[in-house]
Each structure stands twice: as structure tokens, then as C-alpha cells.
Structure 1
Amino acid sequence: MTSLQKTAIAAALATALPAAWACSSCGCTLSSDWASQGLYAASGLSLDLRHDYFNQDELRSGSHRVDRAGIPLPADQEIQRNTANHISTLTLDYGFSPDWAVTLQLPYLLRSHATVAQGDTELSTSRSSGIGDVRVLARYQGDPAERHWGLQFGLKLPTGRTDQGFAAGPQAGQPLDRGLQPGTGSTDLLLGAYRFGTVATHFDYFAQALLQLPLQGKDGFKPGAGLNLSLGLRYVGDGPVAPQLQLNLRSERRESGVNADTANAGSTLAYLSPGLTATLSEQLKAYAFIQLPVYQHVNGLQIEPRFSASVGLHYAY
């Protein structure tokens, strides 16, 4: 297998833009961007369809779990029960040349939520769905000799709804917390860099950083700035299956504005993510990963997932 073939296979698992719709409400930090991992950087069109599932049901404060049974109701603050998330993301990547490419990401979210609001004793529930915030990202992959690094820059656009509400319980008819809406209402600047290469025979690595900076808020809400870091090591042999291990880190500042839950926003999260990619044909590949938290520190009271699961298909024309 040539060096170019190894690179193409590795990129397929790489950096899916660390799921950059506010990880405080998303929870998923896995990288599946093939080009930034060095797996695919050819000219032309490629499609990626990925589904992420995670159920945020563990109440935490700081770096510790919180026992809900020890909190008497009604409480002087909201006590969240769980938020189950299904996020399907279609990614279109078009390479104009080996140097330049553009990526469009279109997410669709299905989210159910249950919570006991401040002063209530009964659960309020919601089931929201819709298109999330679209991302447009340009990529420059330099170094004509080896092309082992690149830069990313673009925007997250405010295409997702921000007006969905509770369906049942004492809060029925009231708007959901802004962090639970399909969109944030903000336009965010995206800036990133990545590098990939060979560690040893049959072993490749990649590293990526992506900074997300909200430029303005909407209706008294502005999400916090976030930084995603991904490190990966993969085995690239002669078989159709390539195992991979990622370390994914996310740090997010507090949200702000009169409609923000500032006291219970912002976190630092780290996940260990084992997975694999399978070559189904010359053009089609499949991948699957599970994310396991190794460190979680949140501000105030927040709910976090015990694990996240991701599956996807990647097709290159």
C-alpha cells in the first residue's frame, strides 16, 4: 500500500469539525474530518453522513456527580433530569485543487428534554427537532512537498430555530433554555489548524485545533467561545478495517446575556474515543466510534452523558 493510499484511508475518520454546535448542548466532540486527518484531500466532491447519539442524564457540579435524591423539591434552582440527543449531519466537501477546498455541514437535531424548573415539584418535558446551525469552512492545505498540515477558517451561521418550547408539565408553553434550542442565534467565526503524519510503520497520527468565536448574540443570548482539540492515532495495515483511538478535548466559556443561564454554563470536557473505519469499496467507507468521558468539569449544575456513540458513511466521487 502506497503512502498516498494510507493517507486517503486515514483522512476518512478524521475531523468532523468537532461537532461544533455548542458542545454544552451537543456533548459530542469526535473528529471525523477526513482531510484534516490526512485521509482524503483529493480534488472533487465527497459526502459524509454521520449520526451521533448521547443521553445527558448525569447531574454534575464541578468535577463531581450530584445525587438528585438529596435535593428537596421545590428547589431554588433548576434540577435537570435528562436530555436525549440524536444529531444527523450531512457534510459536503469539495476540493477545488490539492491546496483549496470548502466544506458545508448541515445538521438535523432531534432532542427530548426533562427537567424540574426552579420552584416546581413536577417534571416539564419537551421534544424539539429541526435543522441546526449550518457551517461553512474553507481549507488550505499547504506544503506542496508533503501536504501534512493545513488551516481552516469559516463561519457558523444562525440557521437553527431558537423559539421552541416545553410541551408538557408546569412549564408547558414556556420557551426552552437557549442552550437546548436547535440553533444558538449567533454567527460564529471558526479558525482551525491541523497536522498529520506517520509515527512508525503502519501507525499514523493527526492533531487538530478549532476555535469557535461568537461574533454577536440574539434576543439577549450569546454562547460562550469554545476550543476543541483532537489527537488521534490509527493503525493502517493492508486489511479493510483500520482501528483508531482519539483523545477529544473541549473547553467552553460561559454564555452571556439576559436570557443566558450564565451560572450553569461553560465546561471543560475530555473524552477517549476508540473506533474503526471499514473500507466497503474504493469509494465508500464506514466508521463507528464510542466516546467515554475521562474528565468533566462544569460550572454550576449541568447534565453530561456517560457515553456517546457515532456511526457514519463516507463517499468520495
Structure 2
Amino acid sequence: MKKYGIKVFYAIFMSTVCLLSFNSFAEAACGGANCSLITGSQDGMLDKGKFIIDLSYRYVLAENPHRGSNSTNEAKTPKVNFATRSIDLEEHTEIRTINKLVQFDVSYGMTDKLTLSLNVPMFNDRYHEHKEGAGAIENNNGTTGFGDITLLAKYALLETTKHLLVGGVGIKFATGDYKLVDAGGSINEPTLQAGTGSYDAILSGIYNYSVIPNTLSIFTSMSHRFTTENDLDYLFGDTTLIDVGADYLLSNKVSVSSQLNLRISGRDEFVNLDVPSTGGEFLFFTPGVRLAVSRDVSIYSHVQLPLYQRVNDENLVEDYGIMLGVSYGF
């Protein structure tokens, strides 16, 4: 693989954290997170004038009720009632949530040290099942919509043959739908919405060490999203993502990776009151593989498996997550 091909390959592989890259929401009353891991194209450093575009599909299943860090028979969660500006405690029992996301990302090398990335969640589908009291299971309260766009700027603070240290800042815009209604015509649960309705700030950093240049690398990253309150007086909790992992280039065409992903989500607030069943800590193991189908095009896949999950109060936790994607560098 030529020099440019190698750099594009690694730039495509090294990325910022999922969705969030801060597009994944904090775990909340109806479980709205997408998988969070280092993948795609959002954090790779590019040569001046170079582009990477990336299209990914993400699927997350959550049907495992937890109380704290322990499994339980059922998880009762509240309803955020925007009409009465109140929180209806233990309003329903969670059954299943399936989050599906199609996201488009584009990165551009402004200079050899500065790269800009735009993350666009084009299609955010949240299928949801719950029941109220002893009633039947309802599955007509999910939502589908356009998500919140994130703009990130990454700067190479240190770049040598073996070391890459990148610092990043970003902003998440309130472009997504966040007032979609449920089957009864009321504004739906915040974590079933495609967007948050808030403008959030993001700080990130990633360090990559080439144990064997262009063959074996280890990396770590940390990102934090500082949230703001939306015009519904709802505040999502801040989210911190910490990742460590390694990737190995088996050949000019195939690379494999393994990483641990930790997500720490703060408790949400509504009209300055803590929202029960929101926030927690979540640790995942994520293996992945990437195939270069040509000099500039690659396809990739990741599976995210939970190792430890603790929710505040009661909620569903993730069973597994899958990500499939294709990247093109030019």
C-alpha cells in the first residue's frame, strides 16, 4: 500500500468517540443510547486538502432490566410530563428498546495539523415497547427523525513516527427533532427523541502509540460533553467517554481491533428536578475488523458487548450493539 493509502487507512481507523461521537444520549428513562466506540472517520488526522467520507449503520438492542448493577425482573421508569411540567414516577414498565442509526460523517484536512469533521445522524429510529400497570404491551411510542449535527475540530499536538496526540473541541447543534409526540399526542420521552434540543460543547483528546509503525498501535481517548438545557427545561446529564484499545494490520487489506469503552452519564434534570432512572456507568468490550477493498475505500464492522452496566434506580441496559460502515478517502 502506498504512503498515502496507509495514512488514509489509519486516518479512517482512528476516530472520535460514537455517537456522541457524542450523538449517543445518556441512558435515561426509555434507554436512548447508541453504541459509543472509536471507529469510523471522525478523529483521524488528514493531510492538507484531503477528505474522508464515512457512512455507518448502528443497531443497539436493550431488553435487559437492571436495578443498579444487578439484573431484575422488571424496570419501572417515570414519564416526563411536559404538559403538566411534572415527573410521573414509575409510570410504566420498560420492555424493549431498539435504536437504529444511519450516520454520515465527513472530515477535511484544513492543514497538516488541523482537521475538521462533521457528523450528521441522518436517520435515527427508536423502536420502544412498554406497558402501563397490568395493561398490554404497547409498541406505538417510538420515534424516527433527523438527529443533532456535531462539528469537531482536531489539532495534532504531537505527531512523530510512533506518537500521535490529538486535542479536539466541538459543538453539537440542536438540529434534531426533540418534540415528536407519542401515540397519545403528547411530547414523547426525551430519550426517545432523535435530538436533544440543546447546544452542547465537546472536549476530546486521543493518544496513539505505534508499537510497530503501520502495523500495531495502541490508543486511548477521552471525551466529555458539556450539556445545556433545552427550551422544554430538560437538561441531559453530561457524558464522559473513555476508551483504550489496540489495532493490528494483518495485511495491506485487513486490520483488526479490540477496545474497552467506558461511558459515564450524569443524571438528567427537568425543571431543576433530578429525573429518576437516568444516568449510570457502562463498560463495553468491542472487537472490530476493517477491510480495504481498494486503495481509498474500506468497509468495517464492530460488535459491542457489555461487561458492566450500572443504572441509577431502574432501567433497561444494552444487550449488544452492532456497527457496519464504509469509508472513502481522497
* Paired amino acid for 2:117: T
Distance change >3 Å, CA 144–CA 269, structure 1 → 2 = closer
Contact 1:17 1:33 in 2 (8 A): no
* 2:172 aligned residue (140, 156, 159): 156
Contact 2:26 2:33 in 1 (8 A): yes
Partner of 2:12: 12
Distance in 2 separating the partners of 1:35 and 1:42: 14
Contact 1:166 1:176 in 2 (8 A): yes
* Paired amino acid for 2:33: C
Task: Name the SS of the counterpart of 1:11 in structure 2.
Answer: helix
* 2:207 aligned residue (180, 187, 195): 195
Distance in 2 separating the partners of 1:23 and 1:256: 12
Contact 2:41 2:327 in 1 (8 A): no
* 2:37 aligned residue (30, 35, 46): 30
Mapping of residues 249-288 of structure 1, within 5 Å: 249-258=262-271, 262-288=275-301
Mapping of residues 73-84 of structure 1, within 5 Å: 76-84=90-98
Question: Residues 73-108 of structure 1, C-alpha deviation per residue, up to 9 Å, x if partnerless?
Answer: xx9442111111110110011111111111111102
Determine if the alignment matches structure 1 residue 102 to structure 2 residue 102.
Answer: no
Q: Aligned residues, how many?
A: 306
Determine if the alignment matches structure 1 residue 56 to structure 2 residue 70.
Answer: no
* 2:135 aligned residue (92, 104, 121): 121
Mapping of residues 138-287 of structure 1, within 5 Å: 138-143=153-158, 145-146=160-161, 148-167=164-183, 172-200=184-212, 202-258=215-271, 262-287=275-300
Contact 1:269 1:295 in 2 (8 A): yes
Distance in 1 separating the partners of 2:297 and 2:4: 17
Contact 2:159 2:165 in 1 (8 A): no
* Paired amino acid for 1:78: H
> Percent of aligned pairs with the same residue?
23
Distance change >3 Å, CA 62–CA 116, structure 1 → 2 = same
Structure 2 stretches lacking a partner, 5+ long: 77-88
Mapping of residues 60-75 of structure 1, within 5 Å: 60-68=66-74
Distance in 2 separating the partners of 1:150 and 1:122: 51
Distance change >3 Å, CA 260–CA 246, structure 1 → 2 = farther
Query: What TM-score comes out, normalization by structure 2 length?
Result: 0.85
Distance change >3 Å, CA 97–CA 152, structure 1 → 2 = same
Distance change >3 Å, CA 132–CA 213, structure 1 → 2 = same
Partner of 2:86: none
Distance in 2 separating the partners of 1:68 and 1:250: 23
Query: What TM-score comes out, normalization by structure 1 length?
Result: 0.89
Deviation of the 1:200 alpha carbon = 4.4
